[in-house]
Structure 1
């Protein structure tokens, strides 16, 4: 049999009201957090896209000369002389402060280098004898397209990006044009300006075929963390971005939660008072008996 209304605990309904209000408030907070997360992901993705765009722009500003030089050498290969080749390389070298040197290999032997100062150790080298560089040279020749090598340790000392463009004459391999770019100033031009964004942390690496990735910028540990935004480029570069604003919205969430608990408590107390008042009205003569006992 069910309990008479007067025998039920007066706390049941207030407790249910309290839990209902808390549930509604927590649902609102959950929805708010979801919206914040979506906005932060979108901002991080936009930032990653800007990183990729800036990297491509800065790199292309340096490399556009290489394709033009390759075409020129392909057409003029029969009439080119040493002084003319070096003059052409000198003019191209002066167009960008990021270029460390240009090199022209006839067949696979590096024959012309500009500027020669500081690069004497490279002149006359055969790429086939360089274990660290030969795979990329071979790939460029076989695929008949330029190949960018990141983080190359140069024989002259230092690290660089090397852009190798194979030269074909009458469908036959003739030689290779290499553009050597100082890594540090190029990377700073690509990503240094982006470090000023206080809302995001980022890291960049180049994923190389059958080799370990080459770390280019930022904290490499970001690649092993959850919740980051990842973006790749046509050069097999990978960009990861982590938002720094994950905890900046704690105050409105904390305020909303406190407000919710206070509202739930007030609603529960109001319900409890209403239940007691209703009980007194439903029990006949309760007030008369209470007066008689007094």
Structure 2
């Protein structure tokens, strides 16, 4: 319920009128000064932005022109004598240094005899400049003046439009040798200018100046931008004289309007606040009551969650604890306060080290780890611990403690069930696969085409099911710690050479193996490393684009050997990357589901690598994916 405005007497009303008039006069004076300041600021910003666009255009466009001048200097020093092979190498290097160069032509005696690159520019070969009636007068003037000329935009003989930078070459004896012409691609230059102007929020136009001082029509932007009110700048381009016009930026009144409204609104608010003072006191009292109710509600939720929640200070002593802590650990809540929180753990020192490592390596977000809790009666149990740094000065860390004894029991039952089923399926699958292999091989007599096709499909699916069973058994052995490993030194290079040759032959795909050293000794289980590498290469074959090579690269670090497997394709979806090495994890897309797989390969590879004290990971590339493994380097 709103409190009504208090009545005002005559003096109060007169004071309000005087304050209102004074404020109106002050606001209008301030607005006039602000408008003048904004006008000057707008002009300064426009000049700065135009200068940035001009500087960027001059820098990018002059690079190929200076490269042409350097080529001319080199030809002069060589007296115009260059072999075709030497010229190809020289021109290729110049073209690579600037993305704006479309081609470079060499025209001894005004006839183009060499163009690089030749592809797409064949029509320019043997072009004789005097045969160009529209361009020859300017070219002849350029030759006589011995000054380079940038012409354009022009329609090119080889198609398209662009600028042509022609440089007349005179030898050291003063004789005229010919012309070096560089064709500048028009599209990327205009794109650079458009993007730069758009980025800085301005609109620009370009026109040229002839040698007689006359202006040409605008060849970029709108001609109407060249008017007495626009800002015009000279552009220093080698071989040409350009002018840039910048559209006049109007001084909008939006900011002045907002300022006016803000000031008047402030005055009204002052008057309103005077009348609402008592109502504010009442609302503060209501807010206090609501805050107390909110705290009670949050405390009720805090005490009724199933997980234990405690906060600790920098010394590790418990500051607060909810009721679930008492239920999980068997202590009274008051008995927990002030105690070191690690007395709730059976392996306290190990957990503290793990937490410190996570806090040093990870971002300041919630982290979790599994450990052993310790109840008041001395009984240990499975505990999942979440820890989060807190920014408050009084509290240092938030800990969430979850009893996962039942969950672990169910997981063990699931693993036992999977292992039992996998063992029971392995023997009949082996028999079925053998029988199908005999049938496909012709042991049962000739087969029709349809029978052969159906048996091959059945054999393929049987092998996939057999692989799934093997993966399940491997994963169960790894999870239970029953996977034996033979850690011995061996050379990784021959293994990769054998696998790549085998897959290249069977899959009809190209593999590129890059290795700078003769040997790459690692300390690991050779059979399991073979399994990991085969899984990574198979994944690359599945998800790479067809007819693209799979690249393998070996690198040696201080104490590790790294293998990188790169493929060209769509890569792993960003949302799926955190689940990449989890069991049964497959990207939820039509393209990935179309590929066969169990979703266990990377999970098994991850556990095997961990047990061999190595590392496995994924990196997103610009045009594909990279999986890498790192293994301990075997000492010589």
TM-score of the aligned structures, taking structure 1 as reference length: 0.70
- Equivalent of 2:219, from 197, 215, 220? 215
| Aligned: 1:240 with 2:245 | yes
CA distance in 1, matches of 2:101, 2:27: 60
| Structure 1 residue 28 displacement after superposition | 4.9
Q: Do the aligned residues in 2 keep the contact of 1:204 with 1:237 (CA within 8 Å)?
A: no
Aligned pairs (5 A) from 1:246-261: 246-252=252-258, 254-255=260-261
Task: Sort the Cα spacing of 1:120 and 1:173 in 2 relative to 1 into closer, same or farther, 3 A.
Answer: same
| Structure 1 residue 45 displacement after superposition | 0.7
Identify the range of structure 1 (250-259 vs 123-132) with the bigger mean alpha-carbon deviation: 250-259
| Structure 1 residue 68 displacement after superposition | 1.1
Aligned pairs (5 A) from 1:120-199: 120-169=122-171, 170-197=173-200
Q: CA RMSD in A?
A: 3.1
Give the length in aligned residue pairs.
Answer: 240
Compare CA radii of gyration and give the structure with the larger one: 2
CA distance in 1, matches of 2:26, 2:229: 27
What whole-Å deviation, never above 9, does each CA across 1:223-249 have from its counterpart, x for those lacking one? 34x643221223432222232653432
Task: Sort the Cα spacing of 1:46 and 1:78 in 2 relative to 1 into closer, same or farther, 3 A.
Answer: closer
Q: Do the aligned residues in 1 keep the contact of 2:39 with 2:251 (CA within 8 Å)?
A: no
Q: Do the aligned residues in 2 keep the contact of 1:150 with 1:206 (CA within 8 Å)?
A: no
The structure showing larger relative contact order (alpha-carbon pairs under 8 Å, at least 6 residues apart) is 1
Task: Sort the Cα spacing of 1:188 and 1:67 in 2 relative to 1 into closer, same or farther, 3 A.
Answer: same
CA distance in 2, matches of 1:89, 1:74: 15
Q: Do the aligned residues in 1 keep the contact of 2:110 with 2:179 (CA within 8 Å)?
A: yes
| Aligned: 1:206 with 2:207 | yes
CA distance in 2, matches of 1:120, 1:47: 41
What whole-Å deviation, never above 9, does each CA across 1:254-277 have from its counterpart, x for those lacking one? 448979xx9xxxxxxxxxxxxxxx
| Structure 1 residue 56 displacement after superposition | 0.8
Task: Sort the Cα spacing of 1:28 and 1:97 in 2 relative to 1 into closer, same or farther, 3 A.
Answer: closer
CA distance in 1, matches of 2:253, 2:113: 58
CA distance in 1, matches of 2:258, 2:31: 10
Q: Do the aligned residues in 2 keep the contact of 1:29 with 1:256 (CA within 8 Å)?
A: no
What whole-Å deviation, never above 9, does each CA across 1:189-248 have from its counterpart, x for those lacking one? 344134123xx32222131415733422x4443234x64322122343222223265343
TM-score of the aligned structures, taking structure 2 as reference length: 0.34
Q: Do the aligned residues in 2 keep the contact of 1:159 with 1:183 (CA within 8 Å)?
A: yes
| Structure 1 residue 96 displacement after superposition | 2.7
| Structure 1 residue 101 displacement after superposition | 0.6
CA distance in 2, matches of 1:123, 1:131: 18
| Structure 1 residue 22 displacement after superposition | 8.1
1:201 aligns to what SS in structure 2? Answer: coil
In structure 2, runs of 5+ residues without a counterpart are 1-20, 269-636
CA distance in 2, matches of 1:160, 1:107: 23
Q: 2:97 maps to which residue?
A: 95
Aligned pairs (5 A) from 1:30-69: 30-69=32-71
CA distance in 2, matches of 1:43, 1:80: 51
Q: 1:77 maps to which residue?
A: 79
| Structure 1 residue 27 displacement after superposition | 5.6
CA distance in 1, matches of 2:85, 2:67: 19
1:234 aligns to what SS in structure 2? Answer: strand
2:204 aligns to what SS in structure 1? Answer: strand
